[in-house]
Structure 1
Amino acid sequence: MKRTIGISGMLLMVACTTTVEECKAKRPNIIIAISDDQSFAHTSFAGCTFVRTPAFDRVAREGIYFSNCIAGSPGCAPSRSSLVTGRHHWQNEQSGQHFSGWLDKYVPFVDLLSDNGYLTGYTGKGVAPFQYHRNHIEEDSFRIENAAGKGFNQLAYDATEKETTGLSSIDYYANFKAFMSGRKDDQPFYFWYGGYEPHRVYEKGAWKRSGKKLENVQVPGFLPDTEEIRGDILDYAMEIEWFDKQLLKMINYLEEIGELENTIIIVTSDNGMPFPRAKALCVEYGIHVPLAIRYPQKFPGGRVVEDVVSFIDFAPTILELTETTADGMMPVTGKSLVEVLTSDKDGMVDRSRQFAFSGRERHSSSRWKNLGYPQRAIRNNDFLYVWNMKPDRWPAGAPQRLNPDQENELLPLYGIDEQGKHHSDWAFTDVDGSPAKSYIVEHFEEKEVRPFFDLAFEKQPEEMLYNIKEDPFCLNNLIEDKNYSSIRAKLKQELRKELIRTGDPRMVGSDEGIFETYKRYSSIRAFPKPKEAGNNNF
């Protein structure tokens, strides 16, 4: 009898051990769903009244909603660079700059996942826009494959299947299934779903077919409240919903095949909304983005976490969760979120996470000699401090450019033609063309509109400080308010300390202008030489 029990016990022990080993061997799958130009406030989970995002809401409701996620930059390429390398964009040379080349030495974590047995790939917009060389004729130091992995973009929608003409034709869901068809048995997978939405251009007035109502729009305080702009915001909402619908299809598919519970789903956006005084500027609606993460096997769900987190934290988090070493990557700056994710606490979980950092250099080609607008920013739970390193430059781009069809001829100031119509490609070209932009520029002389014009297009002071709890629209610069002098001093000190610690060329080294020298692999506009160009700090 004892012998029988002993054998049964041994068999049970073996069974239990095998089960544990099998569970341990079944590594988590990962999906990163990243929209293109969506501010933090614009999900229905966050209380937005004019957009419905059931996929995001499910991930947030059953997982963890992060109320203070700060993108690496207010522009897509540098922000995505930060995410996949775990480093601030200013640490990545040209591989952290908009429309420059991606150097081989900046290994993204997807390469290490692939080496560790993961099936990897992406659909839509990967880590872009960067120049990747399909051969090494021009630049033998450039990476060949997109830093998001192998592309799956072959399958497209028919034009009649799209809800608006502004949407990408890429069938994200069909391409995800094509990716999954290459999976072997229980091979873990990592997939980057990069929607091109809600990046402009939109089909103007598409919202009218959707049943949406102008009166439901919450107009941010940095934009005039007009029917034209409300409609523009609803067209933006239409594209957010399209992105979310494709994600919902992927979630339902994973549920059907029994992989949903073993898949870490991360939903975010690369930077804020493509409107004046948002995208391309280090303000709250430019760098504060949505973030929800779901993985019920290990992450207690139904929580709202207030910790300030950064895009540079994503890479070390994913490497830790997949038991993948960072060997081969450049030194990672970010800090893993695993302790926060596996905690059961709401609110502030890790009080060591006091600050997040962001910044930008060149966005579009928008100034004389293709110069950028360098900004560095630090954000805690209550305040945003921004350092405009070159305040003599125009933050949204120069107000006037040279006529490409007539040598030495200037196009009209502010891009306004003789009929009073604004041409977006003629002025302030760091701001995407839109009905909102055109309205503000065309009406800049009106008393009610001028404050919005000044916020979006006029030169800004070297330092800006905003109480983002009371002033999320960043309307009231507190930098000269003596009541906030200690906060200003603290944030300024912490920002400079981080820039020095991470080797920002703007702070250390012999060539603080190195960012201006990186080649732009896209069209370059010509601008007149500004009178301030002779200044030492221009």
Structure 2
Amino acid sequence: MFRKVVLTAMLLAPGFWKVQAQKKNTPQPPNIVLIVSDDHSAPFLGSYGYPQIKTPHIDRLAEEGIRFTRAYTTAPQCVLSRAAIMTGRNTLDVQMTRFSAPLDASVTAFPELLRKNGYHTGILGRNFHLDGNRRVPETVTVLEKYGLETFKNRVDYLNVTGNRDSIFQQYTDFLGKAPKNKPFFVQVGYSDPHRIFNAQNFEPDPQSLTLPGHWPDTKALRADFASYLGEIQRLDSDVGRVLDDLKKRGLEENTLVVFIGDNGGALLRGKGTLYDLGIHVPLIVRYPKLIRGGQVSDVLVSGIDIAPTLLTVAGIPVPEEITGKSLTPAFADLRQGGHEYIFAVRGAHGQGLPTNSSNFDLGRTIFNKKYKLIYNAIWQIPYHPVDFAGQPFWLELKQQHAEGKLAEKYDKLLFADRRKMFEMYDLLADPDETDNLSGKPEVAAIEHDLKARLQDWMILNRDYLPLPIAPEN
């Protein structure tokens, strides 16, 4: 046991691989494959305990690595979240709360650091979302005029596709071009389980499904949820192709594989919200040389922790501006690593005008393992779903609300005229986040402490929102 601890400490020490590379017959630093699913809430994988889904390939990854049960993105939206994953810095810090913004050239992405230290690097598959958005001609003009699309200069290989077969072809093309004398890093992005849901051949039986406790149980909602799970089951088959290919190439043993969702699913009180289904995502890490298989960690993980973890395993010093924490301590001791508190933000979504809270909402959250505070800065705007406002199940719920036929508890959660400025939940007693404790005397001290910690974080990160603790009159 002592020998294993010492070996692990050596492997994780900054500069270990660089020193070893100078010695003859020493293996090169590990290859790194970062697999990113799109709009994927925890717990919707077999290995996360959801009973009616079959995800054998991703589950095998968990069996051979470490599964983090409490991993959270820095925002419930792809652009904001991916910026933090790519930089190891929170969304405010890198000024990426505007959905269509490109990552500024002055902000370093971790693949650049890998590249400078001898890695062949690539990003492929689903749009990585950090070069701005080209849907509006006037925006394209600005991007091109000022040279704001920078990722072609940050990595060796950059390619984008939404087609499943094309993603695997890009992946094999990248490996074919990777120099044999260099380790490689590649981000493989998938569109599943992002809407539109079209994985008909992968859907489970809607009537067999266990629904989240805060959802109304309707036939149309079950059908929609089954389609979502079908997307995840299809995703699993695609992930399996990559994992099998690594094994066939003899790369499995010396490749660190990370699987993570970019943010929560487009589900009721999911994507676009700071509730659990909006920011709680699966995170699995496999690396046979450092990680004993079948481990489960409940440390609090943020999306900013991915970059320092990959840099540490690669033997590259983590820059001071990176505020994430490496997860490598948890590889050897499940009690180590993680955060005491997690922070996340909600900013603009998409390119639409601020006609509802789907397009434009501003909020912040802070939580630990027991309590969560949500600060709705524009609380006057009611909840409006992201990406499914036109779906049959939602239109049916709206009709039931209009006719007074929707059960009161669901009506209050989904169709209140306005939200509360502050929401506070006991996550152990109320994991569905339905009983708002904000303002209650019995938790007043805890609520104030959370607000003070959030205020501290907002000030340090130059947040533009009003602070949660106002001066007394």
Do the two structures share a fold, i.e. TM-score over 0.5?
Answer: yes
Kindly indicate whether residue 401 of structure 2 is the aligned counterpart of residue 444 of structure 1.
Answer: yes
Amino acid at match of 1:392: Q
Measured after TM superposition, the shift of residue 395 of structure 1 is: 4.1
Measured after TM superposition, the shift of residue 430 of structure 1 is: 6.5
Q: Which residue of 1 aligns with 2:40?
A: 38
Measured after TM superposition, the shift of residue 394 of structure 1 is: 3.5
- Structure-to-structure mapping, 1:270-309, within 5 angstroms: 270-309=262-301
Q: Secondary structure at the match of 1:384?
A: strand
- Structure-to-structure mapping, 1:466-481, within 5 angstroms: 466-481=425-440
Q: Secondary structure at the match of 2:366?
A: strand
Whether the aligned pair in 1 keeps the contact of 2:97 and 2:347 (CA below 8 Å) is: no
Q: 1:18 to 1:460 in 2, by over 3 A?
A: closer
Amino acid at match of 2:264: G
Question: What TM-score comes out, normalization by structure 1 length?
Answer: 0.75
Q: Which residue of 2 aligns with 1:392?
A: 380
Q: Which residue of 1 aligns with 2:157?
A: 150
Q: Which residue of 2 aligns with 1:138?
A: 145
What CA distance in whole angstroms lies between the structure 2 residues aligned with 1:198 and 1:68?
A: 20
Whether the aligned pair in 1 keeps the contact of 2:122 and 2:187 (CA below 8 Å) is: yes
Identity of aligned residues (%): 25
The number of residues matched between the two structures is 440
Measured after TM superposition, the shift of residue 20 of structure 1 is: 9.5
Q: Which residue of 1 aligns with 2:347?
A: 361
Structure 1 unaligned residues grouped into runs of 5+? 1-16, 155-166, 397-427, 513-538
Decide which moves more: 257-266 or 377-386.
377-386
Q: Secondary structure at the match of 1:40?
A: coil
What CA distance in whole angstroms lies between the structure 1 residues aligned with 2:130 and 2:415?
A: 24
Amino acid at match of 1:202: F
Q: Which residue of 2 aligns with 1:493?
A: 452
Question: What TM-score comes out, normalization by structure 2 length?
Answer: 0.85
Q: 1:437 to 1:366 in 2, by over 3 A?
A: farther
Listed one character per residue, the Cα deviations across residues 421-468 of structure 1 (whole Å, up to 9, x for unaligned) are xxxxxxx66655433322222322333355434423532111111122
What CA distance in whole angstroms lies between the structure 2 residues aligned with 1:109 and 1:152?
A: 18
Q: Which residue of 1 aligns with 2:169?
A: 174
Measured after TM superposition, the shift of residue 56 of structure 1 is: 1.8
2:237 to 225, 237, 245: 245
Listed one character per residue, the Cα deviations across residues 197-242 of structure 1 (whole Å, up to 9, x for unaligned) are 1110113xx65x4572223211112321112111111110111111
Q: Which residue of 1 aligns with 2:422?
A: 463
Decide which moves more: 62-71 or 100-109.
100-109
Amino acid at match of 1:67: T
Q: 1:238 to 1:136 in 2, by over 3 A?
A: closer
Q: Which one has the largest radius of gyration?
A: 1
What CA distance in whole angstroms lies between the structure 2 residues aligned with 1:75 and 1:147?
A: 23
2:71 to 69, 76, 79: 69
Q: 1:486 to 1:369 in 2, by over 3 A?
A: closer
Q: Which residue of 2 aligns with 1:340?
A: 330
Kindly indicate whether residue 380 of structure 2 is the aligned counterpart of residue 382 of structure 1.
Answer: no
Whether the aligned pair in 2 keeps the contact of 1:43 and 1:52 (CA below 8 Å) is: yes
Q: Secondary structure at the match of 2:82?
A: helix
Whether the aligned pair in 2 keeps the contact of 1:127 and 1:146 (CA below 8 Å) is: no
Whether the aligned pair in 1 keeps the contact of 2:21 and 2:27 (CA below 8 Å) is: no
Q: Secondary structure at the match of 1:114?
A: helix
Measured after TM superposition, the shift of residue 357 of structure 1 is: 1.0
Whether the aligned pair in 2 keeps the contact of 1:68 and 1:288 (CA below 8 Å) is: yes
Q: 1:490 to 1:430 in 2, by over 3 A?
A: farther
Q: Secondary structure at the match of 1:290?
A: strand
Listed one character per residue, the Cα deviations across residues 473-505 of structure 1 (whole Å, up to 9, x for unaligned) are 211111133232232222222222222223323
What CA distance in whole angstroms lies between the structure 2 residues aligned with 1:314 and 1:24?
A: 26
Q: Secondary structure at the match of 2:285?
A: strand
Kindly indicate whether residue 469 of structure 2 is the aligned counterpart of residue 506 of structure 1.
Answer: no
Listed one character per residue, the Cα deviations across residues 107-163 of structure 1 (whole Å, up to 9, x for unaligned) are 211122122221211222243164177996422455253977733347xxxxxxxxx
Q: Secondary structure at the match of 1:486?
A: helix
Listed one character per residue, the Cα deviations across residues 32-60 of structure 1 (whole Å, up to 9, x for unaligned) are 11111111110001111221112221121
Whether the aligned pair in 1 keeps the contact of 2:131 and 2:150 (CA below 8 Å) is: no
Q: 1:137 to 1:59 in 2, by over 3 A?
A: closer
Whether the aligned pair in 2 keeps the contact of 1:39 and 1:290 (CA below 8 Å) is: yes
Whether the aligned pair in 2 keeps the contact of 1:54 and 1:244 (CA below 8 Å) is: yes
Q: 1:38 to 1:440 in 2, by over 3 A?
A: same
2:256 to 241, 250, 264: 264
Q: Secondary structure at the match of 1:68?
A: strand
Decide which moves more: 36-45 or 318-327.
318-327
What CA distance in whole angstroms lies between the structure 2 residues aligned with 1:439 and 1:125?
A: 32
Listed one character per residue, the Cα deviations across residues 321-374 of structure 1 (whole Å, up to 9, x for unaligned) are 2123456xx821212222222x2x34x334x72111111111132525997311
Q: Which residue of 2 aligns with 1:410?
A: none
Q: Which residue of 1 aligns with 2:228?
A: 236
What CA distance in whole angstroms lies between the structure 2 residues aligned with 1:169 and 1:201?
A: 14
Whether the aligned pair in 2 keeps the contact of 1:72 and 1:79 (CA below 8 Å) is: yes
Amino acid at match of 2:371: F
Q: 1:232 to 1:18 in 2, by over 3 A?
A: closer
What CA distance in whole angstroms lies between the structure 1 residues aligned with 2:143 and 2:374?
A: 39
Computed over aligned residues only, the root mean square deviation of the Cα atoms, in angstroms, reads: 2.9
2:207 to 186, 209, 215: 215
Q: Which residue of 1 aligns with 2:123?
A: 122
